[in-house]
Amino acid sequence: MNISIIGTGMTRFGELWKVSLLDLAHEAMDQALENSELLPKDIDALFVGNMLSGILNNQANLGSLLAEHIGTGIPAFYMEGACASGGIALHNAIQSVLSGQNKTVMVVGVEKMTDHSGDDITAGLMGAGSEAERQAGATFPGIYAFMARAYMEQYGVTEEDLAAISVKNHFHGSFNKKAQFRFTITINDVMKSSKIADPLKLLDCSPITDGAAAIIITSKKVSSKKRISITASEVASDTVGLSGRSTFTSLSAVVKAAKKAYHKAKITPKDIQIAEVHDCFSIAEAIAHEDLGFSSPGQATKDIIEGKRTIGTGNLIVNPSGGLKACGHPVGATGIKQIVELTEQLRGDAGPRQVNNAKIGLAHNVGGSGTIAVIHILQNNL
């Protein structure tokens, strides 16, 4: 694909009480324009990724509303796919460019969550679950706890092993000035934190977060050092509920989308040097490593404990931003944040969390409990 990322923008992630959803989106959009050295008139279309605005913010027409900020009368599209909304927005933006309909497009992911009660947020997020799961009173911590229990029993993995994932991601997040949690933790900290859904504890879970991220992509020729190529964008889906699946220890949507992405980019998992994966819970990252081909089945936590995925010691660095766990998880923005992080890394602009000599990166964005998966592969060809 002849598509380049030429601009990025991202707000700080966290409990941003004094900032509105529109303020967040506008800040990220303005940063992306400034970073790309473009003007609003240069943008042909806008794609917005968001899950909960219609539920929590009483604003469903978000695409048109954010297009007003650019002020050019451009076509605007609102894309929703649970926690994969950002990745889906980018995928559709890419298709619009590949079709020739547009040449230069802005993609924004945004979510404003922390102004609302935990009950409201939990109910909103469970909109991504099946009707049967909702009727049973299930929550996503509970659903992923089922997956964690199945994984632990199948592979002999312990709670302490899973805790190492959160420890790694908090270490990375401590270097990220825009992360929600900029502090390190220990395995003992994870083990002592409150049980949320056995075996998952508070520090196994990503937080409720406000934030926005934006990128600008183009099919035009770009000579700037800021140019990063998108070499694959693939999506696959699965049943909404866990009960319809043959396994709890792998997400078939991820496996299918990743296989297509590797083929499209003409690479293998061994070529990936840096990845942002969807660690909504610690178990989600363990399964992701294996579904993406980074680790053998049942070996992800061992590879993480051995430092193979950590900045400064690893050969494949996973979640240098801090992931969803430490950077935060404003659900509609997460998929675009992943792309912003990879772009900065591949440009060599990631500062103290910079991964040395990274040329190929992968973003893994998942909706629900694996209902939909979006895989993007980025490459620095300069």
The residues assigned a catalytic role are: 83, 329
> Cα separations (Å) of 104 from 7, 31, 110, 240, 311?
11, 16, 20, 34, 34
8-state DSSP, 320: T
Interatomic CA distance for residues 356 and 144, integer angstroms: 33
Sign of CA dihedral 23, 26, 28, 30: negative
Single out the residue of 93, 129, 125 nearest to residue 1, CA to CA: 93
> Cα separations (Å) of 273 from 46, 169, 180, 260, 362?
30, 17, 25, 18, 8
Direct distance between the N- and C-terminal alpha carbons of the chain, in angstroms, rounded to an integer: 16
Interatomic CA distance for residues 187 and 203, integer angstroms: 10
| Residues forming beta bridges with residue 229, ordered by sequence position | 4, 379
Single out the residue of 343, 233, 379 nearest to residue 6, CA to CA: 343
Single out the residue of 94, 121, 375 nearest to residue 253, CA to CA: 375
Contact present, 295 and 249 (Cβ < 8 Å):
no
Contact present, 349 and 230 (Cβ < 8 Å):
no
Backbone torsions φ then ψ of 381, nearest 5 degrees: -95, 5
Tokens of 125: 């997020």
Interatomic CA distance for residues 167 and 188, integer angstroms: 10
> Cα separations (Å) of 24 from 7, 15, 31?
17, 12, 11
